[in-house]
Amino acid sequence: MSERAQLLLELADDELILGWRNSEWTGIAPFLEEDVAFSSIAQNEIGHARALYDLAAVELGTDADALAFDRKPEEYRCAQLVQLRLVPDWAQTIARHVLYETADALRIAALKEHDDAELAGIAAKVEREEVYHRLHAEMWLERLRNEARYTEAVDELWPYALGVLEPGLRPALAERVGRPQVQAVERSAPGEEFAALWEEMTMVRRSAPVGAQW
Amino acid sequence: MDARTQEFLEEVQAGRQVETGDWMPDEYRKRLIKFIEMHGNSELMGVLPERDWILRAPTLQRKLALTAKIQDEVGHCQLIYRVVEDLGKPRAQCLDDLISGKSKFHNVFHYPTKSWGDVGVIAWLVDAAAIISQKALLKCSYAPYARVMKKVCWEESFHILHGRDTVLAMVTGTPAQFELVQEALDRWWPPLMHFHGNPIPAEEDPMFVWRIKSQANEDARQQFLEGYVPQILELGLTIPDPKLRRGDDGVWEYTEPDWDELMAVVTGHGPASQERLDFRRVSRAEVDWVSKVMLPEAA
Amino acid sequence: MIWEVFRQERKGQPFVHGGSFHAPDKAFADAYAREFYARRQESVALWIVPREEITEIGEFPDEFDLKYRRVDGYSIKARLKEARERAGTAAP
């Protein structure tokens, strides 16, 4: 697999799994207005994943759904941060949201400058949507920054957040978040929590032969 | 009935539209709140049978569509509870009464879902049944609710298509997939037949008398059968009612649903009623701190 | 706080009341207005305003029926007929 395809899968897997985790809040968010807003964020993330998978699929001779659903758990390349199950903790959810959006902004900004026109193009599109994700994260940050449960959540998730980015971008993240760099929880192979997620995510799909229509 | 109330009643029966600040009889206000609140409750509880399946959706498109559908329903709950609030009952109290079992929600949301077949059948047929009622509510005498129904009907138009498309993919797929749909339909048919309520004549239905509803229950059910039975049968599916047939006069005959069962279900004795209400109670408790920080006036 | 939303369906159309929601401040209200009234690109523009900033005015005295200010305050049919007859231009 080319470096390009690996990069695309890494990004797509992050967005897919984060979108999957964020959609666990549908119907049970803290209040109705926020439920609707957060659901759009989850949908946007899945939409980004789909676009990135589409691009990788051309090179890999497959399609987006096959990449999203038909790989074995150990073949996914998502960061540990997005795999964590945080429902029903809203403070942790927002902490992840703030940290991820900050990290992703750095990653996407770098990707916009990529030599590969298709990669740069998709990064630009993703960024235009993520402007709103960042605004959403900031408005919640304003309200929760002094809550103990929020700051504790950031403490806990900070090493995971660093693991979203390749080492070259981590100092910039530390500066933006205002925390010293620490030992990151690296991307490594997905663990047990992911296995349970994968099981649920693919159970309907696996109930029919590969290639079945849904 | 005093003269002012009588005059009001005659006006709404003649087509008058009522706005939030207008004088209205206590009975009208109470019935409005109860009816509209039950609708809001139903949108909120309707999310629960479906939300698990977002996580299990077998393609990215289905995942997005199902998430969007449920998002719409949460949004509709918000719009509908706002109407109830402006009539005088705060949203937090609506949620309290829902969770305690004091207020009701529609029968179809008291049943479990078992497979992806349910997802298709619900989005297609339960939403179809609901849209028939919602279209009739466009003529509600209480204008703020009628206006919300306009947005609701417009947004729900894709739900039925998504449902039907989901069903079509399965009935043209493997035999096992076809069977998923048939099995789901067998389970959902009785609740669907209950959905529009017992066949009380319009003149005896207080909701119709006050023009809160503009359609008799049986008319809504007939409309559902007329529109959807042919669509179901043309896919090669069977409907689990041997008596179901269209008479020469265009009126559908069917096995009379058990109306006592409907009453038992909506008063909290359905197969999934308590489990769902418990789930709501627990999830609300877990995020209660957020509402208190953010929106002290409306949890 | 309750916020009211006015939406413009297409450029050139008036802003029409869409609905209301709860939000703690303007940043949240902006986000929620977008979600509820534009996530399907169904509006080209939105106005949001706290409900308490809106004043409803609902009663307008019309004691002396001042119809001269409206089109229905004029009935020219009879005089027009007379004028045409006089000028010989009435239809046969």
* Residue A119's CATH number: 1.20.1260.10
**What's the total number of domains in chain B?**
1
Rounded Cα–Cα distance for residues B34 and B36 (Å): 6
Q: Phi/psi at B170 (nearest 5 deg)? A: -75, -40
Domain that holds residue B141: 10-265
Contact A35 B71 (CB under 8 A): yes
C3: nearest CA partner in chain B? B82
Alpha helix segments (H runs only) across B87-199: 91-100, 116-121, 127-137, 143-171, 175-194
- Asked whether residue A213 is assigned to any structural domain, the reply reads no
* Chain B interface includes A143 (CB < 8 A): yes
Contact A139 C27 (CB under 8 A): yes
Give the range among B36-45, B122-131, B250-259, C60-69 with minimum mean pLDDT. Answer: C60-69
Mean pLDDT across C47-70: 93
Whose CA is closest to A1, among A55, A47, A56? Answer: A56
Rounded Cα–Cα distance for residues B38 and B294 (Å): 26
Mean pLDDT across A92-102: 98
Quick check: B224 and B196 in contact, CB under 8 A?
yes
- The residues facing C8 across adjacent strands are C45
Mean pLDDT across B157-172: 96
| Residue A129: predicted pLDDT | 95
Q: Is residue B296's pLDDT more than 80? A: no
Neighbours of chain C (3+ CB pairs under 8 A): A, B
Rounded Cα–Cα distance for residues B12 and B211 (Å): 6
Tokens of B260: 């006592």
Q: Kindly list the residues from chain B whose CB atom is less than 8 angstroms away from the CB atom of residue C19.
A: 79, 82, 147-148, 151
CB neighbour class for A5 (10 Å; exposed up to 12, middle 13-18, buried from 19): middle
- Asked whether residue B290 is assigned to any structural domain, the reply reads no
Q: Kindly list the residues from chain A whose CB atom is less than 8 angstroms away from the CB atom of residue C28.
A: 33, 139
Mean confidence (pLDDT) of chain B: 96
Mean pLDDT across B92-111: 96
- Asked whether residue A161 is assigned to any structural domain, the reply reads yes
Confidence at A28, pLDDT banded by 50, 70, 90:
very high
| Residue A14: predicted pLDDT | 98
Rounded Cα–Cα distance for residues B82 and C20 (Å): 7
Please report, as a single letter, which amino acid is at residue B282: V
Mean pLDDT across B244-263: 96
Whose CA is closest to B153, among B72, B48, B229? Answer: B72
Q: Which helix (H) or strand (E) holds C46?
A: strand C45-50
Q: Is residue C92's pLDDT more than 80? A: no
Which among B78, B83, B84, B91 is the top mutation candidate for probing chain C, defined by the most C β-carbons within 10 Å of its own β-carbon? B78
Rounded Cα–Cα distance for residues B229 and B226 (Å): 6
Question: How far is CA B69 from each of CA A39, B158, B160, rounded to the nearest angstrom?
Answer: 10, 8, 10
| Residue C42: predicted pLDDT | 95
Q: Is residue B299's pLDDT more than 60? A: no
Mean pLDDT across B27-56: 96
* Chain B interface includes A42 (CB < 8 A): yes
Q: Report pLDDT digits (tens) over B268-286.
A: 999 999 999 999 999 999 9
- Asked whether residue A128 is assigned to any structural domain, the reply reads yes
Contact A26 B71 (CB under 8 A): yes
Residues 108-127 of B with CB under 8 A from A: 115-116
* Chain C interface includes A128 (CB < 8 A): no
Mean confidence (pLDDT) of chain A: 96
A36: nearest CA partner in chain C? C35
C23: nearest CA partner in chain A? A33
A and C: number of Cβ contacts within 8 A: 30
Confidence at A17, pLDDT banded by 50, 70, 90:
very high
Contact A33 C39 (CB under 8 A): no
Rounded Cα–Cα distance for residues B173 and B175 (Å): 7
Neighbours of chain A (3+ CB pairs under 8 A): B, C
- Asked whether residue A32 is assigned to any structural domain, the reply reads yes
Q: Which helix (H) or strand (E) holds B220?
A: helix B217-233
Quick check: B91 and A73 in contact, CB under 8 A?
no
| Residue C90: predicted pLDDT | 86
Contact B298 C22 (CB under 8 A): yes
Quick check: A52 and A64 in contact, CB under 8 A?
no
- The residues facing B59 across adjacent strands are none
Superfamily in which the C2-53 domain is placed by CATH: Phenylacetic acid degradation B (3.10.20.520)
Contact C56 B21 (CB under 8 A): yes
CATH number, position B100:
1.20.1260.10
**In this structure, are strands C2-8 and C16-22 parallel, antiparallel, or unpaired?**
antiparallel
Which residues are CB-neighbours of A200 under 8 A, at least 6 positions away? Answer: B55, B56
- Asked whether residue B5 is assigned to any structural domain, the reply reads no
Count each helix (H run) and each strand (E run) in chain A, helices first. 9, 0
Q: How far from the centroid of its chain's Cα atoms is residue B180's Cα?
A: 24
Q: Which helix (H) or strand (E) holds C3?
A: strand C2-8
B145: nearest CA partner in chain C? C19
Q: Kindly list the residues from chain C whose CB atom is less than 8 angstroms away from the CB atom of residue B298.
A: 22
* Chain C interface includes B75 (CB < 8 A): yes
Quick check: B110 and B104 in contact, CB under 8 A?
no
Contact C19 B295 (CB under 8 A): no
Question: Where do the domains of chain C lie?
Answer: 2-53
Quick check: B118 and B92 in contact, CB under 8 A?
no
- Asked whether residue A93 is assigned to any structural domain, the reply reads yes
Q: Report pLDDT digits (tens) over B198-226.
A: 999 999 999 999 999 999 999 999 999 99
- Asked whether residue B85 is assigned to any structural domain, the reply reads yes
What interface predicted TM-score (ipTM) does this complex get? 0.96
Q: Is residue A158's pLDDT more than 60? A: yes
Write the residue in A36, A64, A144 that is nearest to B74 by C-beta: A36
Q: Kindly list the residues from chain B whose CB atom is less than 8 angstroms away from the CB atom of residue C24.
A: 294-295
- Asked whether residue A151 is assigned to any structural domain, the reply reads yes
Rounded Cα–Cα distance for residues B163 and B75 (Å): 19
Quick check: B69 and B130 in contact, CB under 8 A?
no
Rounded Cα–Cα distance for residues A85 and A90 (Å): 11
Count each helix (H run) and each strand (E run) in chain B, helices first. 12, 2
- Asked whether residue B34 is assigned to any structural domain, the reply reads yes
| Residue B298: predicted pLDDT | 62
**To the nearest whole percent, how much of chain A has pLDDT over 90?**
96
Write the residue in A31, A40, A143 that is nearest to C39 by C-beta: A40
**What's the total number of domains in chain A?**
1
